[in-house]
Each structure stands twice: as C-alpha cells, then as structure tokens.
Chains A and B, each alone.
Chain A
Amino acid sequence: MAVADTTPVRPRASVLRQLLRSTSVIIGGLIVGAMVIIGALAPWLDTRDPAEVNPSVRNKLPGFTATIRDDDGNKVPVTYRFGTDSLGRDIYSRVVYGARVSLIVGLTVSLISIVIGLLIGLIAGYVRWLDGILMRFMDGLMAIPAILLAIGLVSVFRAGLFAVVVAIVVPEVPRVVRLVRSIVLSIREEPYVESAITVGTPTPLLIFRHVLPNTIAPLIVQGTFICAAAILIEAILSFLGIGIPPEIPTWGNIMAEGRTLFRVFPQNILYPGIFLAVTVLGVNMLGDGLRDVLDPKMERRG
C-alpha cells in the first residue's frame, strides 16, 4: 500500500457568488432586466395602441394633455408623457413597445449566431482537413457588411424581422466560428482530452463532454456583445428604412420618423435614443462583467 496523502481537500469557490460581487454584472443585469420587464409588460404600463393615429394631437410636446373620445364615446383626458409624433401617435407607447422588437432581435440574433457558429467552429477545430475550407468561407462571409446585405435581402424578400435577423446573423457567425475554433484547437491539446482519447472515449462524446463545456463561458460573453451589436444594427436598419416596416414601433423607426422635425420637436429622437443607448450600455456592461468573472485569461492573480 502506498503512503496515504493526507493533505486536506480545499473547498469549492462559487461562480454565482463571484458574479454577484461584480458591479458591472449587477448594474448591467438590472438595466437589461428592467428592459425585459418593460418589453414584456408593455400593454399594462399605461400605454395606448402604439399605431393609433390621431391627427388632432400631432406634434405635441411631452406632458401635453388632450381630451379624447374612447371606444364607448366617453370623453377622457389623455396625457402624452413623451409627446406625440407628426401623425399624432403616442411616443411613450411607441418607445415602450419598441423595447420588444429590440430585445427580440438582440436575443434571436445572438442565439442563432452562437448555435450556428458553435457547430461550424467545432467542426473546423476538430476536422483538420475541413478547417482550411470552412475558415476561408467564413473570411468571405465576414467581408459582407450587414447594411448592404440587408438592402439586398429586403429587395429579394420583403422588409421585416426575418430579413433583419438574417442580415445581422450572417456577418456575426464568422466571429463566433473563429472564437470556438481557437478554443477547440487549444483544448484538444489538453492532457485531459488526450487522457480521454486513451481510455477510448468516442470522438462525438469526447467533443460533447470535454471540449464543448469549455466554450460555454466565452460564448455567453460573446453572446452579450452580439446582442448589443444586433440591437444597434437593427436600429440603424430601421432608421434607414430597410429594417422593420414603419408601422411597427421600433426605436429606429421612431427616430426615422422624427428626423425631419428634430429641431422643433426633439422628443421623437431623444426618448428612443435614450432607451437605445441605455439598453446597449446595459448589455455591454453585463458582457464585460461576465467576461471578467468567466474568462480565465482575464482572471486576476492571487
């Protein structure tokens, strides 16, 4: 019998506790959480139909109160907190509903990019002969600007969520592929992966069990950055009129609508602009904080 090793076993450190200790995770998380709640609860946040046009209250400043007949014909006072646009739509309602589109675009784009990128990245990193072909193809995709692609897609299909999501996903996928491939290339050389090979673990199981988990933390971080970029690009596309159709309230659409009268009625650009900036800031802060905690390369020593 060998000499027993009696060194005491060290306790386990909790990732969750580390996350809650990071200020940027907390602030970013609170902002993103608030936006999700606003988007989800939009109909109950004292909003009106965001598409409702009322010519009698066009271009009113924030805080304007008008008396309007409701569906039953009763006269009720309505306060336009953020004012109205040139068609007399309530900007407050449009901004609140606009959060839905932004968050949906951000979430779907990051999820789709990560799933596709993860698959291609694992293949490129593990199947050596496919690597060169796949990566040159990805380099080609990366050269396509999202805005040009959106214009092309809109002219082929019609403007809408689908075209916007595809236009943003295509240039983002190669970035995820590069990230996953680089992780796979370094992890496959790790002794514990080689040990798994020598104990006869089949390759698919090997990738799933030993390689894949290492990509999760960096992908969560990358996902938040893609999400922030997607929200921003969606707003740009909508602002340029090649994104979501103008009747659907998105922050980009609201700003596009208010562009002509910006000098006189800045509320059209101001409020969606603030929401957009705060959301992107929140998502980016969350991503930064997650990276500091999850990415071992950024880990502080000690």
Chain B
Amino acid sequence: MDGAPGPSGTPVLELDGLSVALPKTGDRTHAIDGVSFSVGRGEIVCVVGESGSGKSVTAQAVMGLLPKGQLTLSGGSIRLEGKEVTTCTPAELRALRGARMSMIFQEPMTALNPVERVGAQIGEVLEIHTSLSAEERRNKVLDVMASVHLPDVASMIDAFPHQLSGGQRQRVMIAAALVLDPVLLIADEPTTALDVTTQAQILKLIAEMQARRGTGVLFITHDFGVVAEIAQRVVVMQHGKVVEIGTRDEIISRPKAAYTQMLIKSVPSLEPPSRTPKTSAVALAIEGLSKTYVSGGFLAGKKRVVKAAQNVSIEVRRGETVGIVGESGSGKTTVARCVARLIDPTDGEIKIGGVDVARLRESALRPHRKHVQIVFQDPYRSLNPRRTVGASIIEGPVNFGESTADATRRARDLMTLVGLQPDALERFPHQFSGGQRQRIAIARALAMEPRLLIADEAVSALDVSVQAQVLALLDDVRERFDLAVLFITHDLRVAAQICDRIAVMQNGVVVEHGPTAELFSNAQHAYTHALFAAAPGRGVKFGAGIEATT
C-alpha cells in the first residue's frame, strides 16, 4: 500500500451530496449532510470520525439499511458502478446486496446466527442469488473459507459460531461477504471488538482480499492506527459533514482542516517520552497474587478450573503510573478487581501502605477501602443513573463520617478541578457526555483522597480527542495528589504515553515487566514482541507535517 489513489475508470461507489434527515425531535436536522466522495475499483477508502460524525449512517445509507421511520434519505445520490441506487425498489436493492455490495459488522458474534452452522450462513448468499446446486454451493463455500485462511475448513464448515474464536468469526463474516465477488465491501468498524493481534490479522486479510479480487473497500473506523495501516484515501467526517478528503499520507502527516489536525494531534504516539524513574515510597505492593475460578462440581458435573491470574507481583510507588497491558482474557482486569477487593484473591498479598488487605474480612477492610479507588471503562454505567452527580461524589466521604455540607463543598472544588461546572452537581448522569461522565467518575474517586487510583480501561470507550483530555486530567491529578496509578489498558499507544512502567500480561501471567521506554525499545518476551508488532500504524508519525503547513 503506497497511498496512491485507485485506478481510474468508473468509481465503484460515488456519493454526491448525500443527506439523511433525522427525526424532528433530534438535536440536529441531519445525520449526514451533503456527503460526497467516491471509492475506486480496488481502492480502500477509510471514513474516519468520532461518535456522532455520521460515518455509520453513511454506510447504512449505501446499503439501503437506514432504520425505517427514524432516518430518511433527504437528498443527493448514491451510484454503484454508475447505477443510481437511491431510486431502486426494495427488490432491486435486495438483488444488489450480497451480490454487488456487501457489508461486515463490528460484532461478529451478533452478526452471525448462533443456531445455524457457519457453512449454511455463508451458503445462504449463494442460495438467494444463484441457482447453484447444494453440492456446488458447498464446494464454493469451502473455497471461500479456505481463501480467508480459516483452518481445517472441511470440519469448520459444519461448526456453530460459538465454537469459533472472535477472529475466526470475523473471517467467516468476510467469507460470506466476499463469496459472490462484490465490487464494494463496506466494513463498519470490523476490528474494533477484536484483540490487537487478531485485528492485525483481519486487517491483513481485508487488504489481501482487496488486492486479489479488486474489491473497492469502504472502511469505517474511529482508530487512526487502523487508518494508517490500511487506507489509501481517507475521508474525515464531523457532525455529519465531510471535513477533509485526502490520501493517507496527506491526512496523517499534513492535514489541512483544523479539526483533522486536532484529531491527529490527539492520537497518542507509540514512542514513549523519556521519564525519570520514581524513587518515592511504595504505595501498592502486589506479591504472588493468584485468582482461581472453580466451576462445576458435585451437581454441575465436571469440575473446571480457570486460573485468571497466577503469581502476579507488581509494585506502584507514589506519584507513579504503572500500566498492565494485555489482550482480553489476560487477567489484567482480574488483578485490578482483586486490588480493589471487588473479588477475593485466592492467594498472595496486596499491601497498601504496608497493610496486607488481601485477606481482610469486609468489616475490617472498610477503613482501607478509601485508600484504593477505581475508575471503570464504561462511563455510561459507572454512575447510578437515578442519583445526582453530587450525591454520587459525596457518597464515599459521607460514609466515612464527613458532613454532607463539607463533602459538598469539596465536591464543588473537585468539579472545578476536573474541568466541569460546580453547578453540575445537581444534575443527573444522563445529562452528560461520555467524557464528562468519566471526569465525574474521577472526581468521585478523588473525593476519597485515595493513595491508589485504579483506571480500568478508563479511556478506552472515549473518542480520541476526549481520550486525550481525560488522559491529561489523569496525569494532572496524579501529579497534584502524588497518587499511585494502576493503569489497565489494551491500548499500547495510551500505555506508552502515560505509564512509567508496564507489566505485560498473557493468560494470567506477567510475562514481562519494566520501564516503558525500555520495554518499547527492547522487549524481551516473544508475546510482547507480537503485541507491539500488531499495534496498528506503528512506524507512522502522526501529524509529522502539521507544523510545516500551519
């Protein structure tokens, strides 16, 4: 991929002034407004934008899948290989879908029917659009499954989706999308739900398919790492409008629009800044921590033992941020939940300020609870929707005997500290955006004046520009309160920027542990290497040319 535009000729897809109207009750009139761009034959065009930018609506409009009664096409044209599709009848659209254009989705588990064999689901496209016999269909399905590099296709064709891994399911989706050789493949955040190493494989597969079959790909993503990895041209969207269109290199190193520049600058670099090692007092010492889940037994049949964490030892000093990095199932969240004593560790010690809290009973533990606070991933679920923000923030201090008036006064100060209006204490969580809620969750944690703050994927659900702000806030409060921070993340870019030291976890074990810069430049363990190699957009310098153009 060299970032050159696709070959000339009629573009596979042309959007011209496309608008989609929102229902009248919405906060704006159009989901997308006057969107124009094209996808050439064998070209990968990335549509990138933050939540609410209209990128998914654009894809739905092209496929004719706009939710009925809520979103309506209100203007512009969509041409597939020069043929207008906005005026197609539902029957004509059905004939196009699957055959000439097809789509893959973010969540491969929900996009596949759990009670139908994967071979049948791929074959369904053939059954509808072709007159092949059952035998021919099966052979064709086997071929396409082999072409997306699924292992042992002869037995996998009769497997059910739950028997496959996430990456394999997404390969099945891609096989079903490509079985009829469509000219256009729409991929709506196809790798967002996948682990980074699986993501790298799927991105490679999509690029391979596009190169081999000459398919035009409309790739929707919020992740600039993925853009850098796969795009030839990039369309940047904001609030339903196209902000900028350019080749990959233009957008990534020399963006012109102020919004694109802001986005690109917000992408955390994979190169860690140099940091001086902290020598302050140890705030948290985890020693030999293990957590084992045992299920089954006497009535439920065969006993199954899952070792979620094994012999984990990590130290966090005051004012230091230590990251735990790993893929899903690596045990990083288990460690965080053990430290917060939301689950009981099976073995090992958790020393907070010198006191081992790993085995304390709930009543003895309560005085120590205030020293450890946690900020969760999902800002929409981490605040009680029925209680005002103020009530959530002062709950902890009041539990520890502070008067409501004093606690409220401090809560007002904390709201200012995290960059929100103090008056917002009276409001309810649903009145805030995701980034604002995460700020509130941080304020609630700080209200306890903790020694250790656990951030469990605290910025993973946020848009990149908001993510940058919340990361800056976390770093600010760490320094201000001399906090020890245990930072759980799957995102290497974020980890590179915020962590002093990083522990890499795989299958419940810490495989490597060291200062961030050292780990990134000189990883020892094979898994760490694999993880870094899979990080999308490595070796690409984001916004390298911004200074030159502004």
| Alpha-carbon distance between A190 and B377 when the two chains are bound, in angstroms | 11
Contact in complex: B436, A199 (CB < 8 Å):
no
Known pairs A192-B383, A197-B342, A199-B448; A9 contacts B469 (CB<8 A)? no
Contact in complex: A10, B340 (CB < 8 Å):
no
| Alpha-carbon distance between A2 and B474 when the two chains are bound, in angstroms | 9
Nearest CB on B from A182, distance (A) = 18
B44 at interface, CB cutoff 8 A: no
Which residues of B have CB within 8 Å of A204?
none
Chain B 385-428 interface 0/1 with A at a Cβ cutoff of 8 Å (1 = within) = 01100001001100110000000000000000111100010011
Known pairs A2-B472, A2-B476, A201-B399; A195 contacts B431 (CB<8 A)? no
B536 at interface, CB cutoff 8 A: no
| Alpha-carbon distance between A190 and B269 when the two chains are bound, in angstroms | 33
| Among B377, B436, B444, contact of A7 (Cβ-Cβ < 8 Å) | B436
B378 at interface, CB cutoff 8 A: yes
Chain A 1-27 interface 0/1 with B at a Cβ cutoff of 8 Å (1 = within) = 111110101111000000000000000
Chain B 15-40 interface 0/1 with A at a Cβ cutoff of 8 Å (1 = within) = 00000000100000000000000000
Nearest CB on B from A2, distance (A) = 4
Which residues of B have CB within 8 Å of A191?
376-378, 381-382
B interface, size bucket? 35 or more
Contact in complex: A200, B370 (CB < 8 Å):
yes
Contact in complex: A5, B439 (CB < 8 Å):
yes
Nearest CB on A from B426, distance (A) = 10
Nearest CB on A from B375, distance (A) = 9
Interface residues of B in 429-479 (CB under 8 A from A): 430-433, 435-436, 439, 441, 444, 447-448, 469, 472-473, 476-477
Chain A 153-181 interface 0/1 with B at a Cβ cutoff of 8 Å (1 = within) = 00000000000000000000000000000
Contact in complex: B382, A195 (CB < 8 Å):
yes
In this complex, how many residues of chain A approach chain B with their Cβ under 8 Å: the count is 29
Contact in complex: A199, B428 (CB < 8 Å):
no
Which residues of B have CB within 8 Å of A11?
431
Contact in complex: A192, B382 (CB < 8 Å):
yes
A213 at interface, CB cutoff 8 A: yes
| Among A10, A197, A302, contact of B430 (Cβ-Cβ < 8 Å) | A10
Sorted from nearest, which 8 A-B pairs have the closest CB atoms?
A199-B396, A191-B376, A2-B473, A191-B382, A4-B419, A200-B369, A2-B419, A192-B384
Contact in complex: B431, A10 (CB < 8 Å):
yes
| Alpha-carbon distance between A1 and B387 when the two chains are bound, in angstroms | 27
Interface residues of B in 55-72 (CB under 8 A from A): 67, 70
Contact in complex: A195, B472 (CB < 8 Å):
no
A194 at interface, CB cutoff 8 A: yes
Given A12-B428, A203-B362, A209-B387, 17 other A-B residues pairs in contact with their CB atoms under 8 A: A5-B420, A7-B432, A9-B424, A9-B427, A9-B431, A194-B340, A195-B441, A198-B341, A199-B448, A200-B369, A200-B370, A200-B396, A200-B400, A214-B386, A302-B23, A302-B67, A302-B70
Instruction: Write the chain A residue with the least CB distance to B385.
Output: A192
| Among A9, A10, A196, A203, contact of B395 (Cβ-Cβ < 8 Å) | A196
User: Using a Cβ cutoff of 8 Å, how many contacts connect chains A and B?
Assistant: 105
Which residues of B have CB within 8 Å of A200?
366, 369-370, 396, 399-400
| Alpha-carbon distance between A194 and B376 when the two chains are bound, in angstroms | 9
| Alpha-carbon distance between A3 and B417 when the two chains are bound, in angstroms | 9
| Alpha-carbon distance between A48 and B466 when the two chains are bound, in angstroms | 73
Which residues of A have CB within 8 Å of B342?
194, 197-198
Which residues of B have CB within 8 Å of A73?
none
Contact in complex: A190, B370 (CB < 8 Å):
no
Contact in complex: B419, A5 (CB < 8 Å):
yes
Which residues of B have CB within 8 Å of A213?
386
B264 at interface, CB cutoff 8 A: no
Contact in complex: B373, A198 (CB < 8 Å):
yes
Instruction: Write the chain A residue with the least CB distance to B396.
Output: A199
A210 at interface, CB cutoff 8 A: yes
Which residues of B have CB within 8 Å of A210?
384
Which residues of A have CB within 8 Å of B472?
2-3
Known pairs A191-B382, A192-B384, A201-B395; A7 contacts B435 (CB<8 A)? yes
Instruction: Write the chain A residue with the least CB distance to B377.
Output: A191
Nearest CB on B from A200, distance (A) = 4
Contact in complex: A199, B369 (CB < 8 Å):
yes
| Alpha-carbon distance between A12 and B385 when the two chains are bound, in angstroms | 12
Chain A 284-302 interface 0/1 with B at a Cβ cutoff of 8 Å (1 = within) = 0000000000000000011
| Alpha-carbon distance between A175 and B307 when the two chains are bound, in angstroms | 37
Instruction: Write the chain A residue with the least CB distance to B363.
Output: A202
Contact in complex: B419, A198 (CB < 8 Å):
no
Contact in complex: A3, B469 (CB < 8 Å):
yes
B374 at interface, CB cutoff 8 A: yes
| Alpha-carbon distance between A213 and B391 when the two chains are bound, in angstroms | 15
Which residues of A have CB within 8 Å of B366?
200, 202
